[in-house]
Structures are given as structure tokens and as C-alpha cells.
């Protein structure tokens, strides 16, 4: 099951879930560098080169793949201002993730019901909703 880890949402326990083949961890480094051994790189969404936080040699995707999904404008409308949050969510959607882990209570988690209905994926806080997340992934 693909799980998107928003910036700063990683927990050490996710390593074990990944090693056991329960989850595949996905991210795109819009706002921080990542350990590529732990994560599958999602395709960027509606990104500019400045959004990517990658070296040219690390961009292992065709630039034509850096486009928004048909849900992106709805995501932006729900979230309002934080554009990078919308990029993360749309990248997760494009990657076929079933859930997104985030600590962003003010923008993303505040819109959980609307986002879940729009995208058909689940949103969890990695600390406050860890038990719910484990039940969701069947761990």
C-alpha cells in the first residue's frame, strides 16, 4: 500500500512497516531533501523548477510528467493559500497513494473530510492518529 509522507511526518516505525512489505513510502521533496533509500519519489504536480528541491541529475522523470492532476484546482480551493501543501497532496494522488501522513493541522488535516471525499484517500496525523493509521494499513 502506497503511503505519502508529508514533510516532517516520518516515524521510525514506518521503517519496519516498509521492510515487512506492508507499505511503500512515497514523497516528493518540495520543501526538504529526502533519503531516497527510504522513499519512492512521486511525480511532481504543477511544479516549477524552483519547487523541486532536486539537482538536475536527481530528477529521474520527464519534465512533461510535472503536471497537475484533474483534482489539483479543487485541492487548491479547499486549502487556500499554502501552495506547497496542494503540491504534496496532488503528488500523493497522482502516485496512487491510499493515505497521506502529515502533521499539518492548520491546513491539510483541517480539511480531512473534504479531501478524503474528493480524492478517495485517507489523511492521518502520524502521532495523534497512529493507531488509526495502523488499523488502516492492517498492521
- Read off the pLDDT of residues 78-90 as tens digits, 9 standing for 90 and up: 998 778 899 999 9
116 pLDDT higher than 90: yes
Bridge partner residues of 98 (DSSP): none
Instruction: Give CA–CA dist 65/61, Å, rounded.
Output: 7
**Residue for grid cell 521510525:** 12
Mean pLDDT value of segment 89-103 = 95
Closest CA to 101 of 135, 74, 127: 127
Of 4-8, 70-74, 80-84, 105-109, give the lowest mean pLDDT range. Answer: 80-84
- Coil, strand, or helix at residue 111? helix
Closest CA to 28 of 56, 48, 53: 53
Instruction: Give CA–CA dist 28/54, Å, rounded.
Output: 10
Amino acid at each position: 500500500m502506497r503511503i505519502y509522507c508529508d514533510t516532517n511526518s516520518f516515524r521510525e516505525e514506518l521503517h519496519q512497516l516498509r521492510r515487512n512489505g506492508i507499505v511503500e513510502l512515497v514523497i516528493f521533496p518540495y520543501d526538504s531533501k529526502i533519503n531516497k533509500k527510504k522513499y519512492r519519489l512521486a511525480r511532481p504536480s504543477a511544479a516549477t523548477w524552483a519547487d523541486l528541491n532536486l539537482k538536475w541529475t536527481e530528477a529521474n522523470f520527464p519534465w512533461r510528467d510535472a503536471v497537475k492532476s484533474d483534482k489539483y484546482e479543487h485541492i487548491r480551493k479547499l486549502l487556500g493559500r499554502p501552495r506547497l501543501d496542494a503540491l504534496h497532496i496532488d503528488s500523493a494522488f497522482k502516485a496512487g497513494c491510499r493515505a497521506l501522513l502529515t502533521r499539518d493541522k492548520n491546513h491539510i488535516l483541517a480539511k480531512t473530510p473534504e479531501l478524503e471525499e474528493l480524492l478517495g484517500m485517507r489523511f492521518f496525523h502520524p502521532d495523534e492518529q497512529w493507531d488509526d493509521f495502523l488499523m488502516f494499513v492492517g498492521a
